[in-house]
Structure 1
Amino acid sequence: MTRLFLIIQLILGVVQFLTGIVANGIIVIVSGIECIKRKKVTAYDLLLISLGIFRIFLQALILTCHMIFVFTLNIYVEKEAFLFFIFVNEVNLWLATYLCLFYCVKIANIFHPFFLWLKMRISRLVPWLILGSLLFSLALSVCYLLLYWPEAKEEIRRYFSGNLTASNFLSSLFPVPILVVGLIVPLVIFDASLFLMIYSLCRHTRKMKSMATGRDLSTEAHIRAVKSVFSFFILYTSYYMGIIISLSRTSSQNEFFMFICFFVAAEYPSGHSIILILGNPKLKHYARKFLLCAKCLLGGDSTGVYKPNRTCCF
């Protein structure tokens, strides 16, 4: 690799990291402020705070891997770091799935006994669902440590020394039981929630057309939720596809293509958080205030002396 290419990689990696930290930080701070104002933690705010915190962890892990590769032109994997990545990644997947499920239950109009029961109890179930995702992800990480890590560690060494094909490397690094339990199950729940929201939106739209009325608040809520969830589906798919392709032998022989795959994958944790902010009027409002405050704090007059601006205050 040329030095210029490495510098570009480093700059883009840092920009992605800072963008993700700012976006997820805004989500965590705003949701925390709302909880303090109401003196009550709602299920939605708890989901956003948990998702924002774990996405900050995921963003830091991605930046660390990125910088290790840039400065060493290789990837060194320690047991603790890889297991922490599995844990954080799995928790992120479940929390995003619960957020999609929460949108679906609160917004979609499905007249089914189980769905109606879930609609009445989803707020009380959210803390237990989050706790369950933490325990499940921890158990999955421990199972990986006990059952697969010794072999996976050797396969990682063989792969980066050029003595192992990409297909064998992926099958040893991500065994089928881990993929089925850790990836497919939450994705099925996620896809079912997305389908139900789209179905409810289409049915509601037909009803509004038959009544010769335009969009109402329910339709707007449907559209915002579907946009947010569908954008996450695209980003999450690109995240996994980018990682898998970047691990393939073809991409490892093409440095630029490997960089593009890794860059696309790294867009997921920050990109979806930005979409969450843009799709939530309250988060969007506070994000503008934060940016205005940052501009005021960094700004000054022609002499370079900072002058406070009352419009920056919350």
Structure 2
Amino acid sequence: MPIQLTVFFIIIYMLLSLTIIVQSSLIFAMLGKEWVQGKRLLPVDMILTSLGISHFCRQWASMLYNFCTYFDPNFLFWYLSVIWDFANNATFWFTSLLAVFYCVKVSSFTHPIFLWLKWRISRLVPWPLLGSLLFSCVTIIPSTIRSHTRSQIIMESSPRNSTATDRLKIFEQYVSIPQQMVTLAIPFLLFLPSTIFLMTSRSQHLQQMQDHHNTGYCISNMKAHSTALRSLAIFLVFFTTYFLTLLVSILAHLFEKRSWFWAWEAVIYTLSCIHSTSLMLSSPTLQKFLKKGH
């Protein structure tokens, strides 16, 4: 890639990273203010606060790791990838939990399981959040092994380095990379049906309103439901695309092609930035703060 394009994508990546960091800080600051003032956080705000923290940590780890390893691959910053893996895994689990929460609370399905969950899910939210953190801790064990092995290879200059490097490549190909893909796929497979069920429920409700009501109030209510449905569709498309780009990025490590590295990072974090923006707009508490700001 020409040096001019590389510099361009580096600038885009930095701007996107700073945007995500600012957004995450705002989410934590505004919802943290509610907590400090003695107001009890809504379950959705608890999930969004967790997402804000995970986005903040992931983006800082991404910036430090990418710049240090790109410009000085021999520098010992490999352990930052472990922090990135942990924060990214937590982000996926928190996002899937948010989708499940909205699906249960907002969907109009009358199945007994939905009704049972609708009654209890608000009180159960802290436990899935804790479980997401514990699961994210467990899933970074292969990343920790990989990073430790890389550090040992860099620090030691001996003939057995080539053997250790070959073993690391085998470990990444057959253990680390498949594990990363499965780790991301599990929460995504919770997110996907939850969002589709929610969209189906909202679509059915909107159709019922169109069939039976024509008053001015109902028309405005239908517009609100239509807007919510479009927002869900956009959220589904962009988070799915983000998931797929991460899978491609993980597989790309097998080929070690670095010429389009910064272009790919810019694509990934463009999707992440849109995801972060949609999260800010999904919280009633954050919407109140934003309206006050205007």
Q: Same fold (TM over 0.5)?
A: yes
**Kept in 2: contact 1:238–1:264 (CA 8 A):** no
Residues 274 and 169 of structure 1: is their aligned pair in 2 closer, same or farther, counting only changes over 3 Å? same
Structure 1 residues not aligned, in runs of 5+: 293-314
- In structure 1, the partner of 2:181 is 179
Structure 2, unpaired ranges of 5+? 154-160
2:127 is the alignment partner of 1:124: no
- Cα deviation digits, residues 23-68 of structure 1 (max 9, x gap): 1222222222333456212211111111101101111122223323
Cα distance in structure 2, aligned partners of 1:58 and 1:70? 17
Give the match for residue 8 of structure 1.
Answer: 8
Q: CA deviation at 1:150?
A: 7.2
Q: TM (normalized to structure 1)?
A: 0.73
Aligned pair in 2 of structure 1 residues 29, 138: CA closer, same or farther (>3 Å)? same
Aligned-partner Cα distance in 1 for 2:232–2:151: 35
2:198 paired residue number: 197
Count of aligned positions: 281
Q: 2 CA distance for matches of 1:251 and 1:45?
A: 41
Could you say what secondary structure the match of 1:265 adopts?
helix
Distance in 2 (alpha carbons) for counterparts of 1:251 and 1:220: 47
**CA distance in 2: counterparts of 1:104 and 1:215, whole angstroms:** 24
Q: TM-score, normalised by structure 2?
A: 0.78
Q: Which has the higher contact order (CA 8 A, sep 6+)?
A: 2
Counterparts of 1:1-314 in structure 2, within 5 Å, are: 3-37=3-37, 39-68=39-68, 71-72=71-72, 74=73, 80-142=79-141, 145=144, 171-176=174-179, 178-180=180-182, 182-213=183-214, 214-215=218-219, 217=221, 220=224, 223-224=227-228, 226-246=229-249, 248=252, 253=257, 255=259, 257-280=260-283, 282-287=285-290
Paired amino acid for 2:101 = F
Distance 1:272 1:261 in 2: 17
On the 8 A contact 1:58/1:269 being kept in 2, the answer is no
Give the secondary structure class of the aligned counterpart of 1:41. coil
Q: Secondary structure at the match of 1:92?
A: helix
Letter in 1 for 2:79: E
- Distance of 1:143 and 1:22 partners within structure 2: 31
Amino acid of the structure 2 residue aligned with 1:276 = L
Percent identity (aligned): 26
Deviation at 1:90, TM superposition (A): 0.9
The 1:41–1:26 alpha-carbon spacing in structure 2 relative to 1, beyond 3 Å, is same
3-state SS of 1:174 partner: helix
- How far apart are the structure 1 equivalents of 2:190 and 2:68? 35
Distance in 2, matches of 1:100 and 1:107, equals 10
Q: Is the 8 A contact 1:30 1:283 kept in 2?
A: yes
Give the aligned residue type for 2:88. N
Deviation at 1:20, TM superposition (A): 0.7
Counterpart in 2 of 1:309? none
